[in-house]
Copies of this chain bind each other. A is one copy, B any other.
Amino acid sequence: MSDSSDPAGRFAEAARVTRLLYATAQRARDDFTAAVADLGLSSAMARTLLLLAEPAPMRTIADGLGCDPSYVTGVADDLESAGLARRVAGTDRRIKLLELTAAGHDRRSDVQTVIGQHATVLRLDDAQRAQLEGLLQLLVAPPA
């Protein structure tokens, strides 16, 4: 380990851990994508299924996915084509709710099962995962 008080040492230390952080996040993404691909789902479709415990407006789904509403249109189309969801009118008729079909609920349950079995972070035991969570929270917390 290098002396973290000198500038070059601090950089090297940061670079090493940052690279590892990127690699881990990428690994988690790849594992998720592979797991849901086995269920015939794109990553976006799977994430949207997970948001739909209850019917939700397109706008709410966009917020949940962290994307623009225009992007949700295509994902909703894909889920409808696959027979996993349907659009239904809200009481405010500008709003369309996306609602899972019976098959959609089943598939959503399948996603939860496979992710609960194969999620990358579950390679850690409960204590390790709690430790990881605490450290990550420090990193994403607003500046002190």
Interface residues of A, Cβ cutoff 8 Å to B: 4, 7-11, 13-18, 20-25, 27-29, 32, 50, 112-113, 115-117, 119-124, 126, 128-129, 131-133, 135-140
Is the CB–CB distance between A27 and B112 below 8 Å?
A: no
Provided the pairs A121-B139, A129-B17, A133-B16 are in contact, do residues A113 and B11 lie with their beta carbons within 8 angstroms?
yes
Is the CB–CB distance between A23 and B140 below 8 Å?
A: yes
Kindly report how many copies of this chain are found in the complex they form together.
2
Is the CB–CB distance between B116 and A138 below 8 Å?
A: no
Question: Nearest Cβ in chain B — how far from A25, in angstroms?
Answer: 4
Give the docked Cα–Cα distance between A48 and B117 (Å). Answer: 38
Residue among B14, B22, B115 making CB contact with A122, cutoff 8 Å: B14
Residue among B8, B20, B123 making CB contact with A116, cutoff 8 Å: B8
List, in ascending order, chain B residues with CB within 8 A of A7's CB.
Answer: 112-113, 116-117
List, in ascending order, chain B residues with CB within 8 A of A121's CB.
Answer: 14, 17-18, 21, 139
Q: Could you list some 13 contacts between A and B, CB below 8 A? A: A10-B116, A10-B119, A13-B129, A18-B32, A18-B119, A20-B133, A20-B140, A21-B25, A22-B28, A24-B25, A128-B135, A128-B138, A131-B135
